[in-house]
Amino acid sequence: MELIALAIAPGLAICLFIVHRDVYNREPKLNLFVSFGLGAIAVLPAALIELSLIGYTNQSIAGVAIAAFLVVALTEEFVKFLALRFYAYPKKSFDEPLDGIVYGVMTSMGFATAENILYVQEYGMQTGILRMFVSVPAHASFGVLMGYFVGKAKFDTQRSKQLAATGLFWAVLFHGIFDFFLFLQGNPNVSAYISDLLLFAGAVASFTIAVRLSLNHIKRHRLLSQQTFNPTGSLTIRKAWPGDIALIRQLAWDIWPVTYEPILGEQQVTYMLNLLYNEQTIREQMENHIEYIIVHDGPKAVGFAAFGVEEPGVYKLHKIYVLPSQQGKGTGRYIINELAAAMKKKGARALRLNVNRYNKARLFYEKMGFSMIREEDIDIGKGYFMNDYVMEKSL
């Protein structure tokens, strides 16, 4: 039983890790179990094919390369590819690129676990321990490399075959390099010149590169998953202090021209930026009960807002701006919901704001529950006016 547990544990641990990474849109457990099972079953045809072909190779360097790349790596990765492509790929639950990695790893771990059981029963605990740290994680990395491109293939119909073949190629390549160095150990044509330790180091080096590539691929697809299914999950809000004035001014200068120049023209936008976002003005506002907040997406500042008490029970949202690259991702909704919740706790009954009458953001505010209560024309000097709607949202 100890040997069986040793054989099963690393594969299950990696499965749990990869499922944990798929936090934003989890896959049905049944599909994951079936993928794992198909990977385990795939050991049988792979073994039969390898046994039938291995006799055609020899102990020359070329023969070892053929055995490593074409007999073992291609056979094993191809049977895993078939399970991934014809079971998981057509499923409705395969609805984002990250799923290629999830199902690719589940299939690979099924294969590696079944293979591991056979190895530890024949060669014992020492082999099981070595495979726990090298061979099983290597199979997982091959599954990630394949699944990364298969995941892309499902959502790029014009290049789907090319991308799927690319995934199979990279899995075979790294699997073949890994096995090639291992197969050379004890080879009489090589051992006289290169030690087994050095050859094992070559296998570990290829394994390490594959793992690093895999982790990068997981990170990329996981970020895409987060942006698709939980776009505001990485957003945070913090209070702004006088030391953040330079950051607020920079954000304003990045946002205002894109937002307002089509409405107000470049000259008025420049005038208003210098009027409303000079350091002295922002500092005086902070000192006079107008609170600024900075919005971060991860470590990056992507927007800001300013608010204060307008009248008893009513808060005024003086400013709310996010970078153009952040718009359409739910950031504005996140800011308003967070601020509204905080204001409600302080006893506010309404949240009020001004929006330019020609600004399409008015439609967004209406969706957020704001309604127009009046129009307002504010003289800001030099013949310029802010022509606004005043909108209010009940809390």
Q: What is the pLDDT of residues 26-76, one digit of tens each?
A: 899 999 999 999 999 999 999 999 999 998 888 888 899 999 999 999 999
pLDDT at residue 198 in the model: 65
Choose the weakest-confidence range: 133-137, 290-294, 333-337: 133-137
pLDDT at residue 192 in the model: 52
Question: Mean pLDDT across the stretch 6-10?
Answer: 75
Decide if 6 contacts 47 (C-beta within 8 A). no
- Band of the pLDDT at 1, cuts 50, 70, 90? low
Q: What are the C-alpha distances in Å from 44 to residues 39, 172, 305?
A: 10, 19, 62
The span from the CA of 131 to the CA of 124, in Å, is 11
pLDDT at residue 355 in the model: 94
Decide if 87 contacts 15 (C-beta within 8 A). no
Higher pLDDT, 15 or 169: 169
Choose the weakest-confidence range: 92-101, 213-222, 239-248, 382-391: 213-222
CA dihedral sign, ordered 201, 202, 203, 206:
positive
Q: What is the pLDDT of residues 109-166, one digit of tens each?
A: 999 999 988 888 887 777 768 777 888 889 999 999 999 999 999 999 899 999 999 9
pLDDT at residue 227 in the model: 65
Region of 237 (left: φ > 0; alpha: ψ -120 to 50; beta: rest) is beta
Percent of the chain whose pLDDT exceeds 90: 66
The domain spans of the chain are 2-228, 235-394
Higher pLDDT, 261 or 215: 261
pLDDT at residue 349 in the model: 95
Res 373 pLDDT > 90: yes
pLDDT at residue 195 in the model: 59
- Residues for the chain: how many in total? 395
pLDDT at residue 194 in the model: 65
Using CB atoms within 10 Å of the CB of residue 42, give its burial: 0 to 12 exposed, 13 to 18 middle, 19+ buried: buried
pTM of the model: 0.67
Decide if 50 contacts 71 (C-beta within 8 A). yes
Res 369 pLDDT > 90: yes
H-type alpha helices, the chain: 2-21, 29-41, 43-53, 61-65, 74-83, 98-123, 125-133, 135-154, 160-184, 196-229, 245-264, 266-276, 279-287, 331-345, 361-367
Decide if 64 contacts 180 (C-beta within 8 A). yes
What does the block give as tokens for 388? Answer: 């606004």
Res 241 pLDDT > 70: yes
Question: Mean pLDDT across the stretch 327-336?
Answer: 88
* Angle subtended at Cα 294 by Cα 290 and Cα 297, rounded to the nearest 5 degrees: 160
Q: What is the pLDDT of residues 179-195, one digit of tens each?
A: 998 888 867 766 655 65
Cβ neighbors of 3 (< 8 A, separation 6 or more) are 120, 121, 124, 125, 128
The span from the CA of 278 to the CA of 245, in Å, is 9
Q: Which CATH number fits domain 235-394: 3.40.50.2300, 3.40.1280.10, 3.30.365.10, 3.40.630.30?
A: 3.40.630.30
